[in-house]
């Protein structure tokens, strides 16, 4: 039963990644693209943790923690670049 639920969750987050890609290509404003990228990072964290359950190893937490940190920093850096034209003033 867990395997079935795992497959369902992986399917859901994969479709969510495709929807984010759609918003990145369409997105009328730059804020939309940043938002879609941020959501993409969060979905990828979920996929990594799901793969960790699938494999039964604890290695993927470290990876997802790193992805979470890098995703947050890159979102803030992109926003600052659009806002001020510079990341560190």
Partner 1 sequence: MNLVIEILISLCLVTAGVFGLVGSYGLIKLKDTMQRLHAPTKATTVGVGGVLVASMLYFFLIKGSLSFHELMITLFLFLTAPVSAHFIAKTFIQAEVTEKDLPDPEHEFGWAVFDDAPSYPDEDDHEPKP
- Judged by CB under 8 A, the chain residues 27 through 46 that form the site for partner 1 are 28-32, 34-36, 38-39, 42-43, 45-46
Concatenate the DSSP letters of all residues of the chain into one string: -HHHHHHHHHHHHHHHHHHHHHHHHH-SSHHHHHHHHHHHHHHHHHHHHHHHHHHT-SHHHHHHHHHHHHHHHHHHHHHHHHHHS-S--
Question: Which residues of the chain form contacts with partner 1 (CB under 8 A)?
Answer: 1-2, 4-6, 8-13, 15-17, 19-20, 22-23, 26, 28-32, 34-36, 38-39, 42-43, 45-46, 49-50, 52-53, 56, 58, 61-62, 64-65, 68-69, 72, 75-76, 79-80, 82-83
């Amino acid at each position: 039963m867990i395997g079935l639920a795992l497959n369902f969750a992986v399917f859901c987050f994969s479709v969510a990644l495709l929807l984010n890609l759609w918003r990145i290509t369409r997105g009328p404003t730059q804020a939309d693209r940043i938002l879609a990228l941020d959501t993409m990072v969060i979905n990828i964290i979920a996929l990594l943790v799901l793969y960790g359950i699938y494999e039964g190893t604890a290695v993927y937490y470290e990876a997802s923690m790193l992805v979470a940190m890098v995703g947050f920093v890159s979102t803030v850096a992109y926003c600052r670049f659009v806002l001020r034209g510079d990341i560190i003033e």
